[in-house]
Amino acid sequence: MKLTDNVLRSFRVAKVFRENSDKINCFDFCSNGEAIISSSDDDSLVLYDCQEGKPKRTLYSKKYGVDLIRYTHAANTVVYSSNKIDDTIRYLSLHDNKYIRYFPGHNKRVTSLSMSPVDDTFISGSLDKTIRLWDLRSPNCQGLMHLQGKPVCSFDPEGLIFAAGINSEMGPFATFKLQYDRTCEWTGLKFSNDGKLILLSTNGGALRILDAFKGAVLHSFGGYNNSKGVTLEASFTPDSQFVMIGSEDGKIHVWNAESGMKVALLDGKHTGPITCLQFNPKFMTFASACSNMAFWLPTIDD
């Protein structure tokens, strides 16, 4: 089944899970699409089975808190940032709920975490105005960049380069200058799976798609509600054809990445802002979250 405008418009919430008492700050699908793990401001990690459509396990990180959770390539392991006590990144085995390694170095909150798609390296960006490069096998930072502001960063799909954005500048493989919008700051950066596009999200009411090679702004998307400056996650669909973002009123907006045309407006009946939104990498489903987690399915076969 192929993703088309009609299929996207047909998506409806199939299941809602109320496992959390506070907002879900992040979630991540494992690479085979069979599981999803969430981190929440209630200090819990919830593991869901996507095929059975149900929560499997809940773990807690009461002492350190948990944010920016990411699967690594090893089965049943994750890295995540702390939002209490310190700013150390933690590497956790879900199998026995034990820490494998700690990655100390940042001295302010980590705001960006990206796992290399090809190996055991990952990068982190922090309010301490640095980006650090790490290897899961060593607690020592492998590389450090000092920047002018709070960075957002991500690896490209081939793991060859990473992009860093500091509000109005992109780098480091080529520096692009974008017109700086003082009303909002950049909160997220993602590559499309084909590596051709970069999606920049902000804490305002605007999203941008850039040409990943030239840095030109191809489209700016607005028209979704975000009056309170919430960090809303925007995502590409796995085929790189569509861009989607939630909003503070519980609706999901979808655009065609090439034409820039609005394709769909979906109502998730979320009780709060949709802070997290990602398409499953392998299956025709996506998830959205406020303090509740919703799994979506298409209702037509196109």
**pLDDT per residue as tens digits for the range 102-161:** 999 999 999 999 999 999 999 999 999 999 999 999 999 999 998 888 888 898 898 887
Give the per-residue pLDDT at 184: 66
Q: Is the pLDDT of residue 228 over 70?
A: yes
Q: How many helices (H) and strands (E) does the chain have?
A: 1, 28
Q: In the chain, what is the straight-line distance between the N-terminal and C-terminal CA atoms, in Å?
A: 7
One CATH from 3.30.1380.20, 3.40.50.2020, 2.130.10.10, 1.10.287.610 for 5-297: 2.130.10.10
Q: How many CA atoms lie within 13 A of 31 on its CB side?
A: 14
Distance CA 62, CA 292 (A): 20
- Region 255-280: what's the mean pLDDT? 94
Q: How many CA atoms lie within 13 A of 165 on its CB side?
A: 28
- Of 47, 44, 25, 26, nearest to 36 by C-alpha is 47
